[in-house]
């Protein structure tokens, strides 16, 4: 299960101001994670939930606490941070997703570090589940659906893709008020994009290790690459079209950087690696 590492900015296309802003919210999320869940919570920090925090801050425009600090991760330099109410929800969802990712990695790969992380996060997850039972139920339902799908022969791409979209849509729509449905649509598009991108990235390894991957039956099609790129483009377009309907001014270009460019960063890396591998075999 991969939900981290895809919703990221394209750092090379950010202005200095945008880069500083993203970093300040990233450090702010780390600060909130430490306050709410201790250092084990801070260890789950991700760009993906930083994006959700920035998006919600752009919609709500809440008061922000801004300052500078040193932390054990960066003890030699002072760095700015920005904190506001939406980051509390982003921090809790960060912990919930990290807990289930660790648990899933332990079950699937018998990873000892993942087992240890799941144990350390268990109490924190219970705290989150008591605050957001509907959100945690959505994550748990999604995992059960994915495990059931992955126990069958591959071939149905829509089922795991749509299940992931539904789950992330539920996480995105929290507290959105009038714009809740737009946030749900954005999360749904991103969730579907993430699942398919992860399957696309993992396909060569899954074929070698005989692991489940919904793209396996289609990999020998002559139009396989075009099929995957078209599907990914359509999924992220569902997200960006809905974003453009939102009355967002604050951090709008930073959010566009992530949605139009950053989410494709891994795809670009995959293409470069496969091209290099292909040249190495010649």
Instruction: Give the model confidence (pLDDT) of 46-55 as tens digits.
Output: 999 999 999 9
Contact by Cβ (8 Å): 23, 276: no
State residue 281's pLDDT score. Answer: 60
Tens digit of each residue's pLDDT (9 = 90 or more) over 196-225: 999 999 999 999 999 999 999 999 999 999
Tens digit of each residue's pLDDT (9 = 90 or more) over 142-190: 999 999 998 888 888 999 999 999 999 999 998 768 899 999 999 999 9
For the ranges 108-117, 208-217, 231-240, the maximum mean pLDDT occurs at 231-240
Contact by Cβ (8 Å): 61, 251: no
Contact by Cβ (8 Å): 94, 45: yes
pTM of the model: 0.93
Tens digit of each residue's pLDDT (9 = 90 or more) over 255-265: 999 999 999 99
Distance (Å, whole) CA 280 – CA 259: 33
Provide the CA 126 distance to its chain's centre, in angstroms.
Answer: 21
Distance (Å, whole) CA 175 – CA 210: 42
Query: What does DSSP assign to residue 74?
Result: E
Compute the average pLDDT of residues 99-128: 90
Closest-CA residue to 198 (of 171, 175, 226, 165): 165
- Give yes or no for residue 19 having a pLDDT over 90: yes
State residue 156's pLDDT score. Answer: 87
150: burial class by Cβ within 10 Å (0-12, 13-18, 19+)?
middle
Q: What interhelical angle do 265-281 and 180-209 show, nearest 10?
A: 20
**Which residues make beta-bridge pairs with 82?**
66
Can you give the residue ranges of every domain in the chain?
153-248
- Give yes or no for residue 282 having a pLDDT over 80: no
Tokens read off for 32: 């909130």
Alpha helix stretches (DSSP H) within 72-179: 86-109, 112-131, 133-150, 158-172
């Amino acid at each position: 299960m991969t939900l981290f590492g895809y919703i990221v900015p394209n750092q090379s296309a950010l202005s200095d101001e945008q880069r500083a802003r993203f970093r300040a919210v990233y450090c702010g999320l780390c600060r909130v994670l430490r306050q709410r869940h201790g250092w084990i919570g801070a260890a789950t920090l991700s760009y993906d939930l930083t994006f959700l925090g920035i998006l919600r801050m752009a919609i709500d425009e809440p008061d922000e606490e801004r300052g500078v600090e040193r932390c054990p991760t960066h003890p030699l330099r002072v760095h700015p941070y920005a904190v506001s109410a939406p980051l509390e929800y982003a921090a809790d969802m960060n912990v919930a997703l990290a807990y289930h990712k660790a648990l899933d990695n332990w079950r699937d790969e018998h990873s000892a570090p993942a087992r240890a992380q799941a144990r350390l996060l268990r109490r924190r997850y219970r705290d989150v589940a008591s605050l957001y039972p509907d959100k945690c139920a959505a994550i748990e339902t999604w995992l059960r659906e994915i495990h059931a799908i992955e126990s069958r022969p591959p071939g149905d791409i829509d089922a795991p893709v749509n299940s992931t979209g539904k789950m992330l849509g539920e996480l995105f729509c929290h507290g959105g008020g009038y714009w809740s449905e737009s946030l749900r649509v954005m999360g749904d598009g991103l969730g579907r994009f993430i699942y398919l991108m992860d399957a696309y990235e993992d396909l060569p390894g899954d074929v070698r290790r005989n692991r489940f991957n919904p793209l396996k039956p289609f990999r020998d099609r002559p139009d396989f690459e075009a099929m995957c790129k078209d599907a990914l483009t359509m999924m992220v377009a569902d997200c960006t079209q809905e974003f453009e309907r939102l009355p967002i001014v604050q951090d709008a270009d930073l959010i566009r950087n992530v949605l139009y460019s950053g989410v494709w960063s891994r795809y670009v890396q995959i293409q470069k690696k496969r091209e290099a591998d292909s040249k190495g075999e010649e």
